[in-house]
Amino acid sequence: MKGLILSGGKGTRLRPLTYTAAKQLVPVANKAILFYVIENLIHAGIQDLGIIISPETGVLVQEAIGNGTRWGVNVSYIVQSEPAGLAHAVSTAREFLGDEPFVMYLGDNLIGSRINGLIETFSQSQVDALILLKEVQNPCQFGIAEVDAQGCLVRLVEKPQNPTSNLALVGVYIFSPVIHEAIAGLTPSWRGELEITDAIQRLLESGRAVTSYRLDAWWLDTGKKDDLLTANTIVLDEWARRDLQGEIDDQSQISGRVSIAPGSRIINSTLRGPIVIGANCLIKDSFIGPFTSIGDHSRIESSAIEHSVILNEVHIQQIDRLEDSLIGKNARLARHEQHRCLRLMISDDSVVEF
């Protein structure tokens, strides 16, 4: 079985951050979202990965992933010329996929469980498609599945204006090669895209076996700032551990699950986990509160931060309180006047003075 990771698109919902970065490479708990996806596939025993990339951000993805040797897998890159839908991405990867079954995994999605059991269920059931479903509060923003009283799939609709179900399709799908036949006859939807929901619907209508599984664990689509912060919170809450490898002076207080990478220094500061701090950082005369991740080579001085994602090489100085914020790499924040609590989304290489 092969893995197909979708890491294209323009990331418009995370702009301005994604003008200079791929949305799948934005970190959650100091690890790129795309890395979690790759690791989940590898843990399921998949060694042959194809990654869909876009002309705009493909080079960044290739630089971050390389040829897969760091994970011991094979990685192939497939350029999707335009974001023309999930089914279009599968069609673009037709040569790579060949006649093997595959897992399609959206590169900006995180789920709180392994997919090993799903692959085993797919193989044992001999179905042509297995989809994950999760109840959501805003079904009009997702592909939606309608099921009957027995829980069997009846119909799939992409982003319905008047949804009759709140069961959204999670961004992980398992297909047999039959899906290519269903995609071959598709026409663009009202959104101008080739929808994977339409392809699965064609499988249903032609009598092919399609099964669904309701995800018990959490699922997060990290396409927006608030979604990304939520993902950071959940991952730190569930997976963070105490690991103090940096230098901590006697005036500092560390409580809870705090991870400090080698080369970082904590001076006269208070840290309350869960927190993850990257390598070669300086935290001085500051308070770092729960659910905060700070990237490598960052400097936080005389500031208070919590519930935020700080990327690499950020310098924050004399900010009384920063929360619910996403700060791009190499950004600079400094105070010149007294101010109140800030909630920010700052793109790469920005300079903000208050």
Distances (CA, A) of 143 to 9, 14, 16, 146, 179: 17, 21, 26, 10, 17
Name, in order, each residue with C-beta under 8 angstroms of 109's C-beta and a sequence gap of 6 or more: 37, 170, 171, 172, 219, 220, 221, 222
Domain final position from 235, 257, 276: 235
Within this chain, do residues 87 and 116 fall inside the same structural domain, yes or no?
Answer: yes
Give the side-chain half-sphere CA count within 13 A for 330.
Answer: 5
How many residues comprise the chain? 354
Q: What is the CATH number of the domain that holds 29?
A: 3.90.550.10
Domain shared by 248 and 314, yes or no = yes
| 94 backbone dihedrals φ, ψ, rounded to 5° | -55, -45
- CA 259 to CA 263: how far, in whole Å? 12
pLDDT score for 17: 54
What pLDDT score does 334 carry? Answer: 80
CB 110 within 8 A of CB 227: no
Residues 160 and 177 in one domain: yes
- pLDDT of 8 reads 78
Q: Which amino acid is at 280?
A: N
- Same domain for 227 and 288, yes or no, is no
Same domain, 75 and 181: yes
**What is the helix (H) or strand (E) element at residue 239, kind and residue range?**
helix 225-239
Q: Which residue has the tokens 């950082």?
A: 281
Identify the domain boundary among 193, 211, 235. Answer: 235
Question: Residues 282, 267: contact at Cβ < 8 Å?
Answer: yes
Do residue 178 and residue 246 come from a single domain? Answer: no
- Number of domain units in the chain: 2
Write b or e for each residue in 257-270: b if 16 or more Cβ atoms lie within 10 A of its Cβ, otherwise e.
bbbbbeebbbeebb
Residues 56 and 167 in one domain: yes
Please tell me the predicted confidence (pLDDT) of residue 66.
92
Instruction: Give me the helices (H) in 93-140, please.
Output: 94-97, 116-125
* Spatial contact of 23 and 11, defined as CB atoms under 8 Å apart: yes
pLDDT at res. 46 = 96
**Which residues constitute the domain of residue 105?**
2-235
Residue 56, pLDDT score:
84
DSSP letter for each residue of 72-98? T-EEEEEE-SS---HHHHHHHTHHHHT
Q: Are residues 223 and 253 in the same domain?
A: no
Residues 197 and 71 in one domain: yes
**pLDDT tens digits for the chain (354 residues)?**
999 999 976 555 554 555 556 778 889 999 999 999 999 999 999 999 999 999 888 898 999 999 999 999 999 999 998 888 999 999 999 999 999 999 999 998 999 899 999 999 999 988 999 999 999 888 888 889 988 876 778 889 888 888 888 999 999 999 999 999 999 989 988 888 899 999 999 999 999 999 999 999 889 877 677 888 998 999 999 888 999 999 999 999 999 999 999 999 999 999 999 999 999 999 999 999 999 999 999 999 999 999 999 999 999 999 989 999 888 888 888 876 665 666 666 666 565 655
Chain position carrying tokens 């469980």:
113
Please check whether residues 185 and 68 belong to one and the same domain: yes
**Is the bond preceding residue 139 a cis peptide, omega within 30 degrees?**
no
> Are 107 and 26 members of one domain?
yes
Confidence (pTM): 0.88
Go through 196-227 and write b for each residue having 16 or more CB atoms within 10 A of its CB, e for each that does not: bbbbbbbbbeeebebebbebeeebbbbbebeb
186 shares a domain with 97: yes
**CATH at residue 265:** 2.160.10.10
Please say which residue of 235, 255, 270 terminates a domain: 235
For the four alpha carbons of 241, 242, 248 and 254, in that order, the dihedral sign comes to positive
SS3 341: coil
Closest CA to 231 of 239, 222, 240: 222
